[in-house]
Amino acid sequence: MARSFNQKLEQQQAPAFFARGPSAFARLVFFSALSLALMATDSRLQYLVNLRQSLEAALHPLQLLANTPAQIYRDTNEYFSTHDHLLSENKQLKQLTLKQNITLQRLNTLTLENNHLRQLLDANEAMEESSVLGEIMHVGRDPFTKKIIVNRGETDGIIAGEAVVDATGVIGQVTRINPLSSEVTLITDKSLAIPIQVERNGLRAIAFGHGRDNTLDLPYLPTNVDIRRGDTLVTSGIDGVYPAGLAVATVMHIEITPDSPFARIVCVPTGGVENHKQVLLVSIPHVETSAKKAVINTPKTIVVPSLPASVIAKPAQDLHEKPALKTPEKVPAIKADKAVEKSLDKMPLNNTSAPHAPE
């Protein structure tokens, strides 16, 4: 009797007059408590990681379905791209390949030379990292965190913590792994810091993301720090996560205020997420236990004996030309460092290159 009455009410699209089940307030309290418990568990304990992973895996087909319209749009665009456009792109790419080939040839000789020098110094050889090519599936769904989702996951051997780079520089780090995809936090996110080195003078620092805009900060550097506008920042590699020497950012703006002991240095990342679809996920370099030993064993003075004779001879020549120099005992050391760099660059041309005074 009561049931049929209820059904009639439902058909009339009117709410049931008598509330069934627990009251709204009781439900509110119950589910709020449940949410709070979940939040505490998820943020402090690691119990929910597996649950999240399996749920994400279950949602993956739905995700692919959601990505389909955009994919179809892109494919159609590609299909209908004009002949001229393809030709010009092809030409551009060919030129780029040519340029890169030349650089690559130089790199090969430099790598060989570097390895040889490292052997001479009894140091470990620089490691080559393997990498996996991934494609950006979509930008993170929270517009206020800088994250992207890449279509490589646990099944492709990705580990949390790997560096993610594109053609122009580091863009971020893998922070969460799902079976078929992984979440990459960009270097511009507030929660990410990346150890860097100024390419020009080797100064080490840590760059922090901003979160709000597409810039990086170099905090806690004194006002007299030797960083200039336009300096390139590369990864230092001392963190053991990012391979050394990858471009990170360019210094855009330096601000020194008299009321702060620190300079405010703003940098722009060189890698772009908006511009590219493909990224490389670079595996974490293996930390070898013998690396430490090798560094300790390396004699500090070895630099000087391994120099070519012509290089060592140069300071004297230099002094001869510039009598104003008052500290002759310091000159060879400084000169030697520069000379090593030079000799690496162009070995046979050393005698002809004009030496410049270390002032």
Partner 1 sequence: MHPSNLKSVYVSLILAFICLLLPWSGVVLQARPDFLLLVIIFWLIRAPNLCNIGTAWFVGLFADLATGGTFGQYALAYTVTAFFAVIYQRRLVLFNGTQQLFYVFLLLITAQIILLILKTFAGALSLGWAYFLPSITGVLLWKIAMIFGLNTGGRSRAR
- Please give the residue ranges that form the binding site for partner 1 (CB under 8 A): 10-11, 13-16, 20-21, 24-25, 27-28, 31-32, 34-39, 41-43, 48, 52, 55-56, 59, 62-63, 65-67, 69-70, 137-144, 147, 176, 183, 190, 211-212, 274
Our CB check for partner 1 shows the closer of 42 and 199 to be: 42
Sign of the CA dihedral running 48, 50, 54, 56: positive
Secondary structure letter of residue 172 according to DSSP? E
Our CB check for partner 1 shows the closer of 52 and 229 to be: 52
Least CB distance to partner 1 at residue 157 (A) = 22
Least CB distance to partner 1 at residue 45 (A) = 11
> Strand 216-217 and strand 264-269: pairing?
antiparallel
Our CB check for partner 1 shows the closer of 66 and 349 to be: 66
Our CB check for partner 1 shows the closer of 46 and 290 to be: 46
Least CB distance to partner 1 at residue 108 (A) = 39
Least CB distance to partner 1 at residue 223 (A) = 26
Residue pair 286/307 in contact (Cβ under 8 Å)? The answer is: no
Least CB distance to partner 1 at residue 24 (A) = 5
With tokens 């001392």, the residue in question is: 238
CA distance to 35, 150, 152, 258, 317, per residue, from 178 (Å): 23, 10, 9, 48, 63
Our CB check for partner 1 shows the closer of 41 and 88 to be: 41
Least CB distance to partner 1 at residue 187 (A) = 16
Our CB check for partner 1 shows the closer of 63 and 131 to be: 63
